């Protein structure tokens, strides 16, 4: 892990924009094939890429119950408690309709309603992610979404991980399909004989999934185009090198393109962390992935002051930010741009990933400058409602007509004036 002096600008850009033309072409072909051939395309791609020859796409209730009944009881309790924490936090995000009374018995409203149907993508392949089930499903349920669908790639045996099914049962999701990749996104967007289309797709995935979400955006809504995971850590000489190193590697083991950055005012800590990272890498089961991430996207910066470190982080706008300094809360107040902030040495990033209750679906690639993590609002839509009484219209229609003609929209002016002609007709 390289050490460098902190300059004015640093970047983590590793977005899906880097995907090559062949990947984009492949994703478009997959989407077209699913649109034209429905279930057959899903069966074909699942056999081709996942090695699973399926006779049925949907997970049965018996499969869900079997997974739940045979799962480690302690882990069931842990998942249930995590789910309760997530539900409690997200329940505070629910907004009531906004009613604003005007004069003359008129009013305007902001009507908030849940989406009808959402699809949740749960990654598979190298690992199982029950936490992704909880983080996506529970906010949707709190919002009041009636139909929530899970899609996830199966194993070669045609099964989904037991942990994913257990998490789905805890969250209350029963409509689950054994399909992943770009083909799953296409099925959710356009529908097939078995999978009915949804209104929005959320959840992380590989570059093909991210590209597919981008392609279907407009037909359906999506949460975000997420890039590989990333963490930035601000630390001073009060931090412990082994703890900092373990937090950097926690992100590095996600993906070869994950990024782990330390910004510290202590040259001594920088050198100690550099040694600790190498030491701990050799002990990680996912060493190959983590090492590729650390070597290509892992950096240690030495800042002259904590203020310089804060400025760099605000420019970087990382997905995750940990603050391990003498006064971490004071530093956190200066942070404007980060997907999630973890304050102090006992609040390592996995606390938020699994248990605290905050959401771990967060903006990457500096998009935290203008976007937020997944929340209840993502599963709701807002509709404005207007009611003008006759008395209110009588007072204001001349003003509205004048503004319409200011923009040379005569039809708009006549629309609001037409009520006056009808009124004169009856008088």
Which listed residue (272, 319, 322, 349) is catalytic?
319
Question: For 100, which DSSP code?
Answer: E
Residue 319: active-site member? yes
Contact indicator for 203, 121 with CB cutoff of 8 Å: yes
Residue 320: active-site member? yes
Q: What six digits make up the tokens of 233?
A: 């850590």
In 243-338, where do the E strands start and end? 259-264, 298-302, 320-324
Closest to 132 in 3D by CA, of 205, 33, 31, 224: 205
Contact indicator for 211, 23 with CB cutoff of 8 Å: yes
Which listed residue (33, 90, 254, 320) is catalytic?
320
The 3-state DSSP class for residue 261 equals strand
Q: How far is CA 3 from CA 97, 111, 248, 400, in A?
A: 52, 52, 14, 63
Q: What six digits make up the tokens of 56?
A: 């049925």
Q: What six digits make up the tokens of 262?
A: 């330390």
Q: Residue 154 CB: number of other CB atoms within 10 A?
A: 21
Contact indicator for 351, 131 with CB cutoff of 8 Å: no
DSSP bridge partners of 381? 113
Closest to 173 in 3D by CA, of 253, 281, 83: 83
Contact indicator for 51, 156 with CB cutoff of 8 Å: yes
Q: How far is CA 118 from the centre of its chain?
A: 13
- Active-site positions read 319-320
């Amino acid at each position: 892990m390289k050490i460098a002096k902190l300059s004015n600008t640093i970047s983590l850009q590793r977005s899906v924009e880097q995907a090559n033309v062949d990947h984009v072409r492949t994703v478009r072909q997959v989407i077209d094939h699913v649109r034209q051939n429905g279930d057959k395309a899903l069966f074909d791609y699942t056999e081709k890429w996942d090695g699973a020859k399926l006779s049925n796409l949907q997970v049965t209730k018996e499969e869900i119950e079997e997974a739940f009944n045979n799962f480690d009881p302690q882990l069931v309790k842990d998942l249930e408690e995590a789910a309760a924490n997530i539900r409690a936090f997200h329940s505070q995000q629910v907004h009531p309709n906004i009613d604003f009374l005007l004069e003359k018995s008129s009013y305007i409203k902001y009507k908030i309603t849940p989406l009808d149907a959402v699809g949740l993508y749960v990654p598979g392949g190298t690992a199982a992610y029950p936490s992704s089930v909880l983080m996506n499903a529970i906010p949707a349920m709190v919002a009041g979404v009636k139909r929530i669908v899970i899609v996830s790639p199966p194993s070669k045996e045609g099964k989904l991980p037991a942990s994913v099914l257990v998490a789905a049962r805890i969250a209350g999701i029963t409509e689950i399909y054994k399909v992943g990749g770009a083909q799953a996104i296409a099925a959710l967007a356009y529908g097939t004989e078995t999978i009915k289309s949804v209104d929005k797709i959320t959840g992380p995935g590989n570059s093909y999934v991210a590209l597919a979400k981008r392609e279907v955006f407009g037909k359906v809504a999506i949460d975000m185009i997420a890039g590989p995971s990333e963490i930035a850590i601000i630390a001073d000489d009060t931090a412990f090198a082994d703890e900092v190193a373990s937090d950097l590697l926690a992100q590095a083991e996600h993906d070869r393109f994950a990024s782990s950055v330390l910004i510290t005012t202590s040259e001594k800590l920088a050198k100690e962390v550099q040694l600790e990272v190498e030491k701990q890498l050799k002990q990680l089961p996912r060493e190959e992935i983590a090492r590729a991430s650390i070597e290509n996207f892992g950096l240690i910066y030495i800042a002259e002051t904590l203020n310089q470190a804060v400025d760099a982080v605000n420019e970087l706008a990382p997905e995750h930010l940990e603050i391990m300094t003498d006064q971490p809360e004071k530093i956190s107040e200066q942070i404007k741009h980060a997907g999630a902030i973890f304050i102090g040495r006992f609040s390592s990033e996995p606390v938020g990933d699994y248990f605290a209750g905050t959401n771990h679906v967060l903006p990457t690639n500096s998009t935290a400058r203008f976007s937020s993590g997944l929340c209840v609002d993502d599963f709701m839509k807002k509709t404005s409602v207007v009611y003008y009484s006759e008395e209110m219209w009588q007072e204001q229609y001349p003003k509205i007509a004048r503004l319409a003609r200011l923009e040379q929209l005569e039809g708009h002016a006549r629309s609001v004036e037409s009520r006056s002609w009808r009124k004169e007709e009856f008088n």
